[in-house]
Amino acid sequence: MTDTGLDSRTRLLGYAGLVLTALFWAGNAVVARGTAGEIPPLALSFWRWMIALALLAPFGIPRLARQWPVVRARWPALLALATLSVGAFNTLLYLAAQSTGAINITLVNATIPIVVALFAWGLLGEAVSRLQALGIAAALTGMLTIVARGDPDVLLAVDINAGDGIMVAAVFVWGGYSVLLRRTAPALHPIALLTALVLLGLPVILPFYLWELAATGGFDLRAEMLPAFVYVGIFPSVLAYLFWNHGVQTIGPTRSAVFIYLLPVFASILAVAFLGEALHPYHAGGGLLILVGLYLASRFGPAAQPVAASDGD
């Protein structure tokens, strides 16, 4: 079944935005690896969103003011969305990275589409077709091929530790956010919505950041760190969230979640370009399976009806 409820331009924009979202999030992972040990996790999370807020405020706050009746009426839903997304998910991911390896994080992240599909089925009644399920399975196989470097023994050797448990919590947080966004997001302009989420999410991070600051003494900001903060403040924060929210609201949470399987593909490319890592045949094989899975899951899933949204200025 195709997206009969959506016009082709809306579908195209939704899918293109989700591809870019995966690219920006992969870049976020590369930046995090490159600054590990230099920038504490909660500091990275807090200042990432402070930079995002500085960029959003001139455009988002006037829109929030004009749509204040909607914000006032729907603030509990906005607070829940902000806590799950801005406040919790990336903070948990940065914390998990302190005590678990990249393979473990990627494997746990791979369950996000499954969790989103289960949440969407249980809370929204969104069915999963057989071909869509096949696409999810193909994409999962491709992702596992990449993270295991073509060697099944890599998967068998993975040990579970505290960081893996934190990542499991992060996966459920993101699954809940995606489905809650689809179900309860207020009819706000996209920039106004993201601005509201950042404004409400930063106070969730702040007490934990202050605790980290008192415990570790913070970090010394050097000029070479600035590009990392600029990147995480713009691309995986502002642009990726706008694109993700648009994708979830137009084509649905289950289809949107499948694009997460592009993360290891993009991460491999970026690692070659910026970290000097080598590409191998399993990257090509896994990437092909992911693309096939994306096609099946996005083309033949249940039709998604667009969520009412406001273009209000």
Ordered DSSP codes for 32-53: HHHTTTTS-HHHHHHHHHHHHH
Mean pLDDT of successive 10-residue stretches along the chain, which has 313 residues:
61 90 86 81 94 95 94 94 93 80 65 76 75 79 76 70 79 87 83 94 96 90 90 93 86 80 82 74 80 74 46 42
Ordered DSSP codes for 63-75: HHHHTHHHHHHTH
The pLDDT assigned to 306 comes to: 42
Quote the CA–CA distance of 209 and 267 in Å, as a whole number.
Answer: 28
Predicted TM-score (pTM) of the model is 0.78
Closest CA to 40 of 208, 281, 224, 189: 208
Structural domain contains residue 312: no
The pLDDT assigned to 236 comes to: 92
Write down how long the chain is.
Answer: 313
Are 90 and 201 spatial neighbours (Cβ–Cβ below 8 Å)? no
Structural domain contains residue 306: no
Query: How many helices (DSSP H) and strands (DSSP E) are in the chain?
Result: 16, 0
Angstrom CA distances, 277 to 32, 148, 191, 209, 271, stand at: 16, 15, 37, 33, 6
Q: List phi, psi (to 5°) of 209.
A: -65, -40
Are 188 and 310 spatial neighbours (Cβ–Cβ below 8 Å)? yes
Structural domain contains residue 118: yes
Structural domain contains residue 215: yes
The domain of 129 spans 8-299
Structural domain contains residue 193: yes
Structural domain contains residue 311: no
The pLDDT assigned to 34 comes to: 76
Give the count of domains, the chain. 1
The pLDDT assigned to 277 comes to: 65
The pLDDT assigned to 310 comes to: 41
Q: Is 198 exposed, middle or buried (0-12, 13-18, 19+ CB in 10 A)?
A: buried
The pLDDT assigned to 147 comes to: 72
Quote the CA–CA distance of 149 and 159 in Å, as a whole number.
Answer: 17
Structural domain contains residue 3: no
Structural domain contains residue 305: no
Contacts of 186 (CB under 8 A, 6+ apart): 70, 71, 73, 74, 77, 78, 193
The pLDDT assigned to 121 comes to: 76
